[in-house]
Amino acid sequence: MDWICKFKVVIDFRQDALVKPPENESGYSPDILIINRSNLLNEPLWKKQSTVTQGGWIPLVIEVVSTNWRDDYFTKLGQYEAIGIPEYWIVDYAALAGRRFIGNRKQPTISVYSLIEGEYQLNQFCGSDRVSSPTFPELNLTAKQIFNAGKNN
């Protein structure tokens, strides 16, 4: 299913898509994967395996934290940075992560990692903070609005 939003991005909702660093045997199935579909023609594993290995084809990956929060903050963060994914969000709606990652107040937090000169730089958003996204600069939502959106379903 394709959607074109007001940000002029084609979003492909696929539950079987994987992000796989080229040197790894296995990959990750992100909770939300934004793909630059025009570049998929150059992705060798896409047609056969719905797998993306080039970070440049993926402007944004979003992971929603669950009990395996260490995977999101340690493993995936490092792998996504290494393959060059420009933006990575970790949405910790239940404040499950360790204090080192979301602070001593342990409150629901959206961590936005932006790739700058090959390294992720972190901005965090809680409560009424307006979430800032390089991929979606016109985004006008607070962290609280994003967290509350999931409660209505």
Picking from 135, 137, 136, 113, the residue whose alpha carbon sits closest to that of residue 125 is 113
∠ at Cα 74 (72, 80), nearest 5°? 70
- How far out from the chain centre does Cα 32 lie? 6
Q: For residue 130, what pLDDT band results from cuts at 50, 70 and 90?
A: very high
Q: What is the pLDDT of residue 39?
A: 74
Q: What is the mean pLDDT of residues 3-9?
A: 47
Count of all residues that appear for the chain in the document: 153
Integer-rounded Cα Rg, in Å, for the chain is 15
- Cβ atoms of 55 and 86 within 8 Å: the answer is yes
Whether 12 shows a pLDDT value over 90: the answer reads: no
Could you give the count of Cα atoms lying within 13 Å of 89 in the half-sphere of its Cβ?
23
Structural contact between residues 120 and 88, judged by C-beta atoms closer than 8 angstroms: yes
Q: What is the C-alpha to C-alpha distance for residues 2 and 12, in angstroms, rounded to an integer?
A: 5
**Which DSSP category does 59 fall into?**
S
pLDDT in tens, 51-102: 888 787 889 999 999 999 999 999 999 999 999 999 999 999 999 999 999 9
* Per-residue pLDDT band at 23 (split at 50, 70, 90): confident
- d(CA 105, CA 15) in angstroms, rounded, equals 34
pLDDT recorded at residue 8: 52
What percent of the chain has pLDDT above 70? Answer: 88
For residue 23, what are the contacts with CB-CB under 8 A and spacing of at least 6? none
Helix and strand tally (H, E) in the chain?
A: 5, 9
Question: What CA–CA distance (Å, rounded) separates 128 from 124?
Answer: 12
Task: Enter the pTM of the model.
Answer: 0.86
**Average pLDDT of the chain to the nearest whole number:** 85
